[in-house]
Structure 1
Amino acid sequence: MSSRSRILDMVKANQPDLKELPELFPSWDADQSIVETFKTVLTVIGGTVVPLANLEEVASYISEQYGSKGRIISTLPELAPVTEAGWENKDPHEYENV
């Protein structure tokens, strides 16, 4: 028996016991709100929850909060009034200050 075979046999013989994998998508408790969990996590990591009802409110919020602070781009045509036009397909370095 070669040393390679002997090493492979020893590795095969010394494997840990198999463990059952955890559930991929654990079910949520009926009284646990996914939205509330998201809000809590976002706040804990330093984010801010801004409840908005429609895209007009989103556009208004963007222009109020970020209007003169830099470049804003979006793929949503509904946000075109508050975002930069013609930003697609440019050199990636041109997106550094977005």
Structure 2
Amino acid sequence: MNSRDRILQAVKANQPDVATLPDLQAFISPAPASLETFRKVAAGMGSHILEIKDESEIPALLKQYYSDANIQQVVATDPSLYDIAAPLNWQTGDGRQLQDADLAIVRAQVGVAENGALWLTEAELQVRVLPFISQHLAVVLDQSAIVPTMHHAYERIGGPQTGFGVFIAGPSKTADIEQSLVLGAHGAKSLTIFIKG
């Protein structure tokens, strides 16, 4: 028997006892998903919440909300969300083609009431770097997609369906510099969430 086989045999002989996984039901809240909770937590994280009845309201609301910002290049992953055409070939390349994106508009699969997080995958984003490289981010979320907790979110998401997914909660922020809160430190400066009822 060579040294490799001896090591593998020793590892196999010294395996820990099999233990059952803990029951997580105690962590799962029986409370239903609450739009009010989601709104309160997301606003506390620095997001701007707008309730809409129809997606056709989005372009006018964005123009109103970002009237003071110099928004010139808008990338909407679904062209029906914004009436101005996105830059040509924004979906091809290594992400640097989006370096001048002022505003990105995407859809979210799930919203989590307990922490205001939004679940986005590359199916919605099309380019993974989009929510991080754009100056501002707008997300469209169906009210029916709001769940109470992260446990509910993982139940709804299930196994991997795409190669990439991310939870985003509020605009990026840091308080590392002189203990002063800075929004938009390493990602989008603002997050607007359109909740479609």
Task: Report if TM-score (shorter chain) is over 0.5.
Answer: yes
**Aligned pair 1:76/2:79, yes or no?**
yes
Task: Map Cα deviations across residues 21-61 of structure 1 (whole Å, 9 max, x no partner).
Answer: 4679x8651x3215455435533433232212212321211
Q: Give the superposition deviation at 1:18.
A: 2.6
Relative to its length, the structure with more helix (as a share) is 1
Tell me, in whole angstroms, the C-alpha distance in 1 between the residues paired with 2:17 and 2:38: 37
The size of the alignment, in residue pairs, is: 93
The residue type equivalent to 1:57 in the other structure is E
Q: Structure 2 unaligned runs (5+)?
A: 102-197
Equivalent position of 1:11 in the other structure: 11
Q: Give the superposition deviation at 1:96.
A: 0.9
RMSD, matched Cα: 3.1
Q: Give the superposition deviation at 1:66.
A: 2.3
Structure with higher Rg: it is 1
Q: Give the superposition deviation at 1:87.
A: 1.9
TM-score (norm 2): 0.37
Tell me, in whole angstroms, the C-alpha distance in 1 between the residues paired with 2:48 and 2:86: 29
Relative to its length, the structure with more strand (as a share) is 2
Q: Give the superposition deviation at 1:64.
A: 0.9
- The change in CA–CA distance for 1:47 and 1:78 in structure 2 (over 3 A counts) is closer
TM-score (norm 1): 0.63
Name the SS of the counterpart of 1:97 in structure 2: coil
Contact 2:75–2:87, Cα closer than 8 Å, also in 1? yes
% same residue: 27
The residue type equivalent to 1:76 in the other structure is P
Contact 1:39–1:49, Cα closer than 8 Å, also in 2? yes
Structure with higher RCO (Cα < 8 A, 6+ apart): 2
Tell me, in whole angstroms, the C-alpha distance in 2 between the residues paired with 1:19 and 1:40: 40
Q: Structure 1 unaligned runs (5+)?
A: none
Tell me, in whole angstroms, the C-alpha distance in 2 between the residues paired with 1:40 and 1:19: 40
Tell me, in whole angstroms, the C-alpha distance in 2 between the residues paired with 1:49 and 1:86: 24
Equivalent position of 1:95 in the other structure: 98
- The change in CA–CA distance for 1:44 and 1:19 in structure 2 (over 3 A counts) is farther
